Amino acid sequence: MKIAFIGLGNMGGPMAINLIKAGHSVKAFDLSQDSLAKVQADGGQVAASAQEAVQGAEAVVTMLPASQHVEGLFLGSGNLLASIAKGTLVIDSSTIAAATSQKVAKAAEAAGIDFIDAPVSGGTGGAIAGTLTFMVGGSDAALERARPLLEKMGKNIFHAGGVGAGQTAKICNNMLLGILMIGTSEAIALGVANGLDPKVLSEIMRRSSGGNWALEVYNPYPGVQEASAATRGYTGGFGTDLMLKDLGLAQENAMTVKASTPLGGMARAIYAAHSIAGHGGEDFASIIKMLRKLA
């Protein structure tokens, strides 16, 4: 299949590479030349613009930071929808507001283009391994069209409901993840302050009732897990500012539906303080720096 892939960052890059490995022809566009170079080295073609990338594409995949990037790309000054052929499938895997997905989907439908929101969970490790979880919002027919591509990038594919439902599932999950990472960091910091070995304590909690995804594959304490962002100086994972965005989306949504999300609100405030202190570009597991006594 001929695929246009736009947004080749920490997640989009390895996702595009998995599509290439599966035998698809991928034409990539990103504002960053470094990101494009990585995909090119793995057999992808590089386009000079998003408009050029979508020429002749049967499917378009986008993996951009936030709502304004997705809305700007499809509906803004570049008006990418106008360059996409009728009948094309668009899969947006960015984590954005459900309302933005619905706005873009409505414009896509008017242009005869199938659109699904398909945000992911599983981190950069899952993107590289092709084991992501996709949370899809859209019609059954559009999901079935997308499924063969999603299966090359992920292991679990859930149909959450109509357009925007994937985004709603995603912000519920990430609100929980944000809270869990703070809780995990607090617990490890407390143990270390008492002289416990962070590796031993992490293993005890991982196999006990406190076990969670952070302890399994994303330990926030440097050196506990070789492949974790913490061990490589909190680089290249899921940025603090992206987590802050997701917690903001959860709070906006909670206000709309009058839900009570006190820990989600507190987690947003804690990541905001961490971002203001200069850690916005670091992986979100660096939140432990706020809680851990530095040597």
Please report how close the Cβ of residue 222 comes to ligand NAD at its closest, in angstroms: 18
Q: 10: closest CA among 127, 135, 121, 92?
A: 127
Residues 6+ apart with CB under 8 A from 33: none
Rounded CA separation 118/265 (Å)? 25
d(CA 284, CA 95): 16
Burial of 92: CB neighbours in 10 Å, binned 0-12, 13-18, 19+: buried
Has 27 been annotated as catalytic?
no
Residue nearest ligand NAD, Cβ-based: 9
Minimum distance of ligand NAD from residue 125's CB (angstroms): 8
* Cβ neighbours for 130, distance < 8 A, ≥ 6 positions apart: 18, 152, 153, 154, 155
Phi/psi for 36 (5° steps) reads -65, -40
Catalytic residue among 27, 103, 170, 245: 170
Beta bridge partners of 239: 283
Between 66 and 142, CB nearer to ligand NAD: 66
Query: What contacts 52, CB < 8 A, 6 or more positions away?
Result: 27, 29
**Beta 45-46 vs 2-6: how paired, if at all?**
unpaired
Q: How far is the CB of 194 from ligand NAD (least distance, A)?
A: 31
- The closest alpha carbon to 217, from 206, 208, 209, belongs to 206
Q: Which residues bind ligand NAD (CB under 6 A)?
A: 6-12, 29-32, 35, 50, 63-65, 69, 73, 94-95, 120-121, 123-124, 237-238, 242, 246
Catalytic residue numbers, as ranges? 170
